Chain A
Amino acid sequence: MTTWPSWQPEVLSFLPAWLWKVICIFLVLQMPPILVSLLVWAERRVSAWIQDRVGPNRVGPFGLLQSVADLVKFVFKEDVVPGQVNRVLYSVAPALAMVPGLVTFSLLPFAERFMVSDLDSGLLMLFAISSLAVYGIQIGGWASNSKYALIGGVRASAQIISYELTLGLAAAVVVLFTGSLNLAEMVRWQSETRILGLLPAWTIFVFPGGTVAFVIFITSAFAETNRLPFDMPEAESELAAGYHVEYSSMKFALFFLGEYAAMIVMSGLMTTLFLGGWSLFGLERVMEGTIWQTLIQTGIWWAKTLFFLFVFIWIRWTLPRFRYDQLMRLGWKVFLPLSLANLLVAAWMRTWGMWGASA
């Protein structure tokens, strides 16, 4: 639809297009590691606050460098490879688990003129790549040649496959509304459309189809990322640590990184699909065409995403773990019919008007 040089901010138009792209890739590639380390710190601080504790506050200001300390520890820990493992697959699995998390970052539209790739089939691409993460987990669980790891891996794949259905069906509602698979296009539709001529038509506000889709999507996102209350693949009380029980040192850290990267991508996707992406009541149009606009839009996008990340942590320290049969029942018997019905409702809304919302 559009050739990519047009997304270059005008102030930086003197740069060759390819250089701008390289800068974009470089910037985006820095995001996951930095964010993950921040997220780990946040996870520990928030969990501490919720439990009336203080949390890590010793390393650096507010304990912000705790993750750096953790990283140093990971790097210097002995890389134990148990004797019974399949050595090749055992080594490949952590990378397989982490790479999809990093690659999907390239598809997220942080701002109108700041993204690595603006694909027309962006949503499909994103789902396709993020689904690959299950291979890392499943292969890691199998290659460890340990019953806990194997059960964890099997649980993870079953769980991810089950919830990918509802995840897709919920996202289909947004596709239906916006009429595009291009993530940037979806955001633009949400920011430009008005519900009853007032409220921006962020999908979450398009009741009932969009709202229900959001609830289904966020719940499925928890299951997809193996986060509590759906962290059965690593359930400490049952499986010790599940699929990564036999891993140590940097290999373990890669699993860790992949898991948190997936969480960031899911939050970003929710922001993009349901919360209007970079748009915020017209603020995204300030200083049109300057680099400031790009910065503002990126800031808005990240603010929303960070909110979702906070919700992830918040939920984790609120709810206990589901039982595996409850998880499966919820997925197949409740959410699947509900999302199918919701898709029909959304289609009906698309045909008969969405509270005046139309492009």
Chain B
Amino acid sequence: MSDRPGYRTVERPALTLADRLVFPAILKGMAITASHIFEKKVTMQYPEEKWTLPEYYRGVPSLVMDDENREKCVACSLCEFVCPPRAITIVPEERPGGGREEKQPAVFDIDMLRCIFCGYCEEVCPEEAIFMSKEYEVVGRSREEMVFHKDRLYEIGGVRKDPHRKWKNADDEARAQGRGHGHGPAQV
């Protein structure tokens, strides 16, 4: 093969008698492994010690409230649409109170047995209402328990301080223009 251009013959290393007897090599190997018995251990004692998670870590998806404890989600269902494993189920309903949001999720379920933690829901959310939390300990005793309902998702997400208040700003502007939110017949 060596006469072929681009090829190079690699000489096999000549084995010494010690190599051929094998046993010295075995003993050498045993010395190496034995030395590791006394090395410092790298194991992390998990429940007591935990990782410091990086900023970009994607844990359980969660819903957040704004700093006035109002639901940010308006049940637009884009996350339900974009979710690759179809883990999200949303049933919208009319939001009481007459804010400009009008809509809220009556049901917001994420099936954590289906969720693949891809983060598309966070990415697509136009209301910045769903965030991938740092929570990764997802356990349950039944399939039903592994479907996270709205209250649990809010519990994980909590309150997010966020200056972005689209709907409230619009409400304020409308009030300033003397045009409140109107249910009922027209006022000319």
Contact = CB atoms under 8 A, between A and B. Distances in A.
Interface stretch (A21-29, A43-51, A135-143): A43-51
A318 interface: yes
B43 A319 contact: no
Interface residues of A, number: 14
B170 interface: no
A359 interface: no
B45 to A, nearest CB: 8
Residue of B23, B41, B42, B45 with highest tally of chain A CB at under 10 A: B41
B29 A53 contact: no
Contact of A54 (B32, B34, B36, B43): B43
A61 to B, nearest CB: 16
Given A314-B30, A315-B30, A318-B29, A53 B43 contact: yes
A215 B36 CA distance: 25
B40 interface: yes
A256 interface: no
B34 A52 contact: no
Given A54-B43, A215-B23, A49 B37 contact: yes
A44 to B, nearest CB: 13
B32 to A, nearest CB: 8
Contact of A314 (B23, B33, B40): B33
A319 B23 CA distance: 12
B26 interface: yes
B26 A318 contact: yes
B34 A53 contact: no
Residue of B23, B37, B39, B42 with highest tally of chain A CB at under 10 A: B37
Nearest to A45: B37
A54 B30 CA distance: 19
A52 B33 CA distance: 10
A46 B34 CA distance: 10
Contacts of A315: 26, 30
A315 B29 CA distance: 9
A303 B7 CA distance: 57
Interface in A80-132: none
Given A314-B30, A318-B30, A50 B43 contact: no
Contacts of B30: 314-315, 318
A317 interface: yes
Interface of A: 46, 48-54, 215, 314-315, 317-319
Given A52-B41, A54-B43, 13 more contacts: A49-B36, A49-B41, A51-B36, A52-B36, A52-B40, A52-B43, A53-B43, A54-B45, A314-B34, A315-B26, A318-B29, A318-B32, A318-B33
